[in-house]
Amino acid sequence: MITQAGVDGDGAPTRERILAAAVELFGRQGYSATSVGEIERAAGLSPRAGGFYRHFPSKRAALEAAVARRVEAAEGARSLVDGALTGDVRTETAALGRAALRIVGADQAVMRIVMREGDNFPELRDDFYERIVQTGHSSTLAWLRHAAERADVDPDAIDLEALATLVLGSIINHCVLATLFGQAAGGLSDERFLAIWTDSTLKLLEADGLLVADTPNREASE
């Protein structure tokens, strides 16, 4: 039931209910194939009673708001990465992998829309790429550069940009396949994937001389 304050009986703001419904429907059946009435019904509103338009002037506005909200949430989640930096590469790798899996996994609802509607809305696709995909790659690259500095390795002696793509790309692939097919390749759970990802990433870092044993904790060294 929707109250005059714009909050439903479960305490969720009506605007958020509309956005969640729009994202799910746009991703599942397409933007053009989704009517405002369907969004209203999925959000718990009376179809064609004007509830949608009290919050958004158009379907396009709802789509833009959904992408913008996901971008803001992803940028805010970068604190998960910052909090994982302990000064020990082994500990950081597992923590960063878990944080990345959480961030990328949360992007999948909007990612489905971008994959389906990207050609129709190139500016939204490009914004998603720049502010989520590229930001994630830049964060991974910064972490690898930091690891190289601590290991006293010349960062220019290693193709760290390609390494960042390899490290982060496997997480993206795991999440995207789960989104497209309802399960990851091999039916791998997130925990199983994270375990092998952490072990493999550590081996990659070790092969490039970026894994320093017994690195003192950052707080203890300051």
Q: Domain check: are 91 and 152 in the same one?
A: yes
Determine which helix (DSSP H) or strand (DSSP E) holds 15, and give its type and residue range.
Answer: helix 14-29
d(CA 183, CA 175): 9
pTM (2 decimals)?
Answer: 0.74
**Which CATH number is 137's domain given?**
1.10.357.10
Query: Residue for token digits 């790659």?
Result: 137
Angle at 134 between CA 131 and CA 137, to 5 degrees: 135
Per the domain annotation, does 184 fall within a domain?
Answer: yes
Is residue 35 in a domain? Answer: yes
Q: Residues 169, 191: one domain?
A: yes
Residue 52 located in a structural domain: yes
Pair (25, 98) in one structural domain:
no
DSSP-H helix ranges across 182-216 = 190-207
9 within some domain: no
Distance between alpha carbon 165 and the CA centroid of its chain, in Å?
15
Provide the number of structural domains found in the chain: 2
Q: Is residue 124 located within the same domain as residue 192?
A: yes
Over its length of 222 residues, how does the chain's per-residue pLDDT go in tens digits?
A: 333 334 444 446 999 999 999 988 998 888 999 999 999 999 999 998 899 999 999 999 998 888 888 777 766 656 655 666 666 778 888 888 888 888 888 777 788 888 888 898 898 888 888 888 888 888 889 889 988 988 999 999 999 999 999 999 999 899 888 887 888 888 889 999 999 999 999 999 999 999 876 444 444 444
* Co-location of 191 and 139 in the same domain: yes
Long-range CB contacts (within 8 A, 24+) of 126-130: 127/67, 127/71, 128/67, 128/70, 128/71
Where in the sequence is the domain holding 85, given as residue range(s)? 63-213
